[in-house]
Amino acid sequence: MGGFFKSSIGRKVAMALSAFFLMVFLLQHFAINLLSVFNPDVFNEVSHFMGTNPMVQFALQPVLIFGVVFHFIMGFVLEIKNKKAQGVAYVKNNGAANSSWMSRNMIWSGAAILAFIVLHFIDFWIPEINTKYIQGDWSGTLEGVEGFRYYEELTHKFVSPIRVGAYVLAFIFLALHLLHGFTSAFQSVGATAGRKKTLQSIGKAYSIIIPLGFIFIALYHHFNH
């Protein structure tokens, strides 16, 4: 296993597999959040189920956190390895002529997304952990508010135009990151043979629709609170 991660191909495959996992999670997370726009009651029920189901909490959630940490660490490792491998030749090479802006700046869009994840954890995950594990409240209710607390928390976070602006900017960076990362992940596992154009089309649609959908959710709650 150690030899696998030491090889360039091994690191790229590991990076791609973690990317696939996170893209599936992102789609699922978007689908649940979109319910908050069209049916708050169902959003509350689904959120409560995800927040209290033992399989989700004690099996899937740790895997998700590991996947996020692994993906970003591996991304930074690959960037450092690539810089060292290119050396002086990198300076002489006209990267702009051979690659897109997205591919040359994956590390920076990734860093911006990582900063957003920290903000997102502060906004939602840490309060969730505090409510359930420190206060011991698994009921899904918020004192003084009827019904489930999830919708109330979500809409409250999007009152501030500064926070909404941060979310919008983060999802723009996410779109730029995905525009290169989606197809690159399939290339890393050798799955683009004969279907590269199809995957590029799917990748563009995914990379634009999902971040745009998250932006819509944030703006919708900001202007309709």
Task: Output the pLDDT for position 188.
Answer: 83
Residue type (1 letter), 157: K
Contacts with 155 (C-beta within 8 Å, 6 or more apart), sequence order: 36, 221, 225
Task: Output the pLDDT for position 42.
Answer: 92
Q: What is the pLDDT of residues 73-112, one digit of tens each?
A: 888 888 888 777 765 444 444 445 446 777 777 888 888 9
- The list of the chain residues with pLDDT below 70 reads 1-6, 86-99, 140-148
Task: Output the pLDDT for position 137.
Answer: 77
CA separation for the pair 24, 11 (Å, rounded): 20
Task: Output the pLDDT for position 196.
Answer: 80
Task: Output the pLDDT for position 91.
Answer: 47
Contacts with 183 (C-beta within 8 Å, 6 or more apart), sequence order: 192, 196, 199, 200, 203
Task: Output the pLDDT for position 5.
Answer: 58
Q: What is the DSSP string of 100-119?
A: -HHHHTHHHHHHHHHHHHHH
Task: Output the pLDDT for position 206.
Answer: 96
Q: What is the DSSP string of 7-38?
A: SHHHHHHHHHHHHHHHHHHHHHHHHHHHHHHH
The fold for domain 2-223 equals: 3 helical TM bundles of succinate and fumarate reductases (1.20.1300)
- Phi–psi pair at 206, nearest 5 degrees: -60, -45
Task: Output the pLDDT for position 113.
Answer: 92
